[in-house]
Amino acid sequence: MQLPGFRRLFTQDFPSTYKDLITLLSTTLNNGIEVLYTLGNKNITLADNVSCTVKDVTTSVDASGTPRTTTSFILDDSVKTRQVIGLSILNITNNTNSSNLPAAQPYVKWTQSGNSIIINKINGLPPSDSFLIKLVAWN
**Could you state, in chain order, the average pLDDT of each consecutive group of 10 residues for the chain (139 residues)?**
82 91 91 87 83 94 94 86 89 93 90 94 93 94
Number of domains in the chain: 2
- One domain, residues 52 and 38: no
- Phi then psi for residue 21, to 5 deg, are -65, -45
Range of the domain at 119: 46-138
Q: Which of 9, 13, 5 lies closest to 25, judged by CA?
A: 9
- One domain, residues 31 and 56: no
- Mention every residue, 6+ apart, whose C-beta is less than 8 A from residue 101: 92, 94, 126
Helices and strands: H and E segment counts in the chain: 2, 6
Other Cβ atoms closer than 10 A to 41? 11
Q: Measured in whole angstroms, how far is the alpha carbon of residue 133 from the centre of its chain?
A: 14
> Residue 116, SS3?
strand
- One domain, residues 54 and 40: no
Which contiguous run of DSSP H or E holds residue 25?
helix 19-40
Q: What is the pTM of this model?
A: 0.77
- One domain, residues 15 and 69: no
Q: What is the pLDDT of residue 7?
A: 86
